[in-house]
Structure 1
């Protein structure tokens, strides 16, 4: 029997749970009443795009996408560097900057021939406009260092660049500019001068980087004034994220778009992380002002920062998931691949008019529920009250499972201030294990040296325990060996030039497990990129995660278990653990033993005194029942003896009643009626204690088939949606009606990493 998740929603909660998405309040909101749709050169060309490549993408958009609403062509970073030919962009001393007499960047005439003789981007903008499209550019906040060093005058004023700059808050990942201090005379004049220039060129869209993290409110306010004084509509996009959620009102009142995360790339871990971020930001969507989930890394990449001559790594299911989430979240849609290389699937994906309608015109957008691996989003059609529903299956996470994590950092890279994140989190009551996880940040490069600096556990009495004073249960790493008080490459722990005495040096694809001291209540650390990775070309993009439940994938769907022991080994709970589960109403019982992540096979273990109990307290040992089926990873499941035929023995004590098994195993029972509780004692059998490797297990209890499913049936109860009449349900991606349903009749199968996107329309009486 397959697992089944039933999503219950009510119209009352739907009406109460959303925050009203109001009409525009500010003049510049009118410039982007719906989320902008376009192409940006970053993903496919990095900082090295040239004019012919921009024109080729503009031509493709005009011929294939314009009728679907796609309209912006945006030239991204460092268009003002004459010798920029690769994806490496932070090379100030080796860059040939093109700059005018007023300290304003100008397009490279080598890369953009039409910009020669001071023409700037006007000829290219005119070309884009002639196709019925709009033109945009990327800049960094601040004033060029070249303008400061050469003491260039600021146009329209008596001030010079050296009068307005500060070295404070200099961008950590691109060091072309200095900060502009808002309280210095001449500061506003400089921003006015560059936006006057862009207005002359015909710029319609301006993406400004290094504004949102940390949040530079004063420069944002100068930028807003600078754009407004030109009189030309220019959509303002602030980057990168994560923009602080607390700044939502300031962002909305000064920009059309603001980034919610760091750079987004084509890997499941980042897409999976985006669900939570989009849910947090959804209440702040308003016409003309949109939280931005970042670009769409789809199609073919040519020579981008993290992508060279390849197509997207997203599967087709993941691409549907990406577009569905961005549509339901009303994110701006900025395509990242080289559009002339699009295949038919990609073209059909991004021109589906019903999906785009949701992105452009729906309202009351929100995450409705997140349970059992199924994430549900809802939105309404303001034209007729139809309900849009997206059902996402975010199971199957790969290296680790992310559904029960205690903490996720999101991507940490050279773009992250300080190259790391301070972590201070509360531990769940009764937590007895702590998993420190470093995953690859999605770029596929291996230079991901990372450090857990001063990892400390606080106890209930206020005392602290440093994890470096404890021995870990196990430590695995994608490269090298996890190290204590030194980096994974053997040097001192060093994050962005600061050395530390205590910590754990590791690498991406790593898990370090500690047994927590009793009464642990908090965990604190600084998690950062080690110098051993950041001083190498490529790589140095990771995500830090923390869990108190074992996150490693299993042969079964762990989240469906009704009880589990967690990891048991020779050193972690060698005495064994008791397990209990509520089985009220269950018809089946599955006792599962799975390997706990080391992939070694000496995992003889015992279910001791497995018993079911009814409401009156009467007990029935399972050893008195015949199992329906029993399998074991090695040997045969044994009743009342160990797998090798010896007496059941755990931690030196022998038992008469139980089952001897080896991971991976399942014992399936048909339950008699009236039993409400299961209990057992679980442990590793002593007969493998002298075997060198293995003996790491986890015991789990299920009342439904524990097999991992490639798809999950999800029931939508239309009554709970507030629909008391029959409803027509339409598949948005297939653009076809599925049928008319009542109540809980509609149960689609949602594939792993896939999505079902539906329009629900009540049938009106004739």
Structure 2
């Protein structure tokens, strides 16, 4: 993140996912690290010294998705019966006989060690928590929120996964971000299905609470030792980043950062696109026009401008038009292409553009409606 220059464009959290956990112990009887992370505090100190922040992972089951210890236990003293029988050298649940399914750990145990684990993370100076299980429920979210907020440290509380929309008003109060979906894949079908179905969360989006349609699948991606270059075309990648920016979604890089190529870096370091995502007003872009394969999203910006994405979800090139009436804007406006970082038009009526299949034109319409007092004269 430092070497590739992303730190200079607002990227700041390095988050460890499932797989760091060893057994319970230490002075707090919290989950300690396994041999892959011999000194978590030293690692956090090193990350902080680079000007970055660090995150960690857990869940309120007795075991996590990858088969490591969670924040609950079936035994009061914090030992796990399955560890001796089925755990490998990294304390991951593995049944060599294939007779027992890993889902034996997918339940909430009788005893909570949430406070113990949080105290351990505070000792390690963690800045972010991904708390992962399904379905997310209010009880366990509030329990973790209370534990985190009982300390002074500023920790981002991120829920995963597929948070029920019926409890959106609760996630808005208790979590900083929450996964609205299952896992994304690097295909047009997956990315577009997830990305273009977030509008129902708009009422719950704002500073401090962000719906999360999952990570960015650009660059070298994979779910194991074998990585591959994203199956999204260049146009689909522009659509991916543009849509997540308009949605005010958390931007999480999901690729091997050591293998970032120039094109992927250009996608992740365009400051004018990032400004749309990070706008302080914190509004989620919503659909203002839809016609066959074309859908237009608009996101009000703090300075009165409007960020607009004209998307072509079809298989053929097409033209798209957005009018100032569609946007509720009046008077002469400039149109700025945010990917090219240049003004491309001036109009008091509309903007028309060609869009490639599965592509986008991401623009800013500015300066916006006048905020000065209007007076009439003879």
Shared fold (TM-score, shorter chain, > 0.5):
yes
> Is 1:112 equivalent to 2:33 in the alignment?
no
Q: 1:255-295 deviations in whole A, cap 9, x for unaligned?
A: 11111100011111112212442112122101100000111
Computing the radius of gyration over CA atoms, which structure comes out larger, 1 or 2? 1
Q: Name the CA distance, whole Å, in 1 between partners of 2:200 and 2:102.
A: 27
Aligned residue among 722, 727, 733 for 2:339: 733
> Is 1:318 equivalent to 2:247 in the alignment?
no
Q: 1:161-183 deviations in whole A, cap 9, x for unaligned?
A: 99xxxxxxxxx9755464145xx
With normalisation by structure 2, the TM-score equals 0.83
> Is 1:64 equivalent to 2:5 in the alignment?
yes
Q: Name the CA distance, whole Å, in 2 between partners of 1:70 and 1:740.
A: 33
Q: Name the CA distance, whole Å, in 2 between partners of 1:173 and 1:317.
A: 39
> Is 1:75 equivalent to 2:1 in the alignment?
no
Aligned residue among 95, 119, 127 for 1:196: 119
Aligned partner of 1:331 in structure 2 is 249
Q: CA deviation at 1:216?
A: 2.0
Q: 1:73-132 deviations in whole A, cap 9, x for unaligned?
A: 00111212xxxxxxxxxxxxxxxx4432665322222x223x2xxxxx111110100000
Q: 1:198-238 deviations in whole A, cap 9, x for unaligned?
A: 0000100000110xx32322111111111112222211100
| 1:588-627 correspondence runs (5 A) | none
Q: Name the CA distance, whole Å, in 2 between partners of 1:173 and 1:254.
A: 30
> Is 1:758 equivalent to 2:363 in the alignment?
yes
Aligned partner of 1:99 in structure 2 is 24
> Is 1:712 equivalent to 2:318 in the alignment?
yes
Aligned partner of 2:207 in structure 1 is 287
Question: Matched residue of 1:253: which SS?
Answer: helix
Question: Matched residue of 1:232: which SS?
Answer: coil
Q: As a proportion of its length, which structure holds more strand? A: 1
Aligned residue among 387, 390, 402 for 2:309: 390
Q: CA deviation at 1:742?
A: 3.1
Question: Matched residue of 1:135: which SS?
Answer: strand
Q: Name the CA distance, whole Å, in 2 between partners of 1:309 and 1:215.
A: 30
Q: CA deviation at 1:763?
A: 8.4
Aligned partner of 1:309 in structure 2 is 227
Q: Name the CA distance, whole Å, in 1 between partners of 2:367 and 2:57.
A: 45
Structure with the larger RCO, 1 or 2 (CA within 8 Å, 6+ apart) = 1
Q: Name the CA distance, whole Å, in 2 between partners of 1:231 and 1:201.
A: 14
Question: Matched residue of 1:277: which SS?
Answer: coil
Aligned partner of 1:645 in structure 2 is none
Q: 1:482-540 deviations in whole A, cap 9, x for unaligned?
A: xxxxxxxxxxxxxxxxxxxxxxxxxxxxxxxxxxxxxxxxxxxxxxxxxxxxxxxxxxx
Aligned partner of 1:408 in structure 2 is none
Q: CA deviation at 1:338?
A: 1.0
Alignment check: 8 A CA contact 1:283 1:366 kept: no
Alignment check: 8 A CA contact 1:723 1:762 kept: no
Question: Matched residue of 2:277: which SS?
Answer: helix
Seen in structure 2, the aligned counterparts of structure 1 residues 180 and 315 have a Cα distance that, compared at 3 Å, is: same
With normalisation by structure 1, the TM-score equals 0.42
Question: Matched residue of 1:105: which SS?
Answer: strand
Alignment check: 8 A CA contact 1:141 1:177 kept: no
Question: Matched residue of 1:208: which SS?
Answer: strand
Aligned partner of 1:685 in structure 2 is none
Aligned partner of 1:135 in structure 2 is 54
Pairwise CA RMSD? 2.6
Alignment check: 8 A CA contact 1:388 1:759 kept: yes
Q: 1:461-493 deviations in whole A, cap 9, x for unaligned?
A: xxxxxxxxxxxxxxxxxxxxxxxxxxxxxxxxx
Q: Which runs of 5+ in 1 are unaligned?
A: 1-57, 81-96, 116-120, 154-159, 163-171, 397-708
Q: As a proportion of its length, which structure holds more helix? A: 2
Q: Name the CA distance, whole Å, in 1 between partners of 2:76 and 2:333.
A: 69
Aligned partner of 1:270 in structure 2 is 190
Q: CA deviation at 1:141?
A: 1.6
Q: 1:15-72 deviations in whole A, cap 9, x for unaligned?
A: xxxxxxxxxxxxxxxxxxxxxxxxxxxxxxxxxxxxxxxxxxx543xx5111111000
Aligned partner of 1:234 in structure 2 is 155
Alignment check: 8 A CA contact 2:74 2:109 kept: no
Question: Matched residue of 1:262: which SS?
Answer: coil
Seen in structure 2, the aligned counterparts of structure 1 residues 275 and 59 have a Cα distance that, compared at 3 Å, is: closer
Alignment check: 8 A CA contact 2:215 2:254 kept: yes
Seen in structure 2, the aligned counterparts of structure 1 residues 176 and 278 have a Cα distance that, compared at 3 Å, is: same
Aligned partner of 2:291 in structure 1 is 371
Alignment check: 8 A CA contact 1:68 1:353 kept: yes
Alignment check: 8 A CA contact 2:59 2:132 kept: yes
Question: After TM superposition, what 4+ stretches of structure 1 lie above 6 angstroms from structure 2?
Answer: none
Aligned partner of 1:565 in structure 2 is none
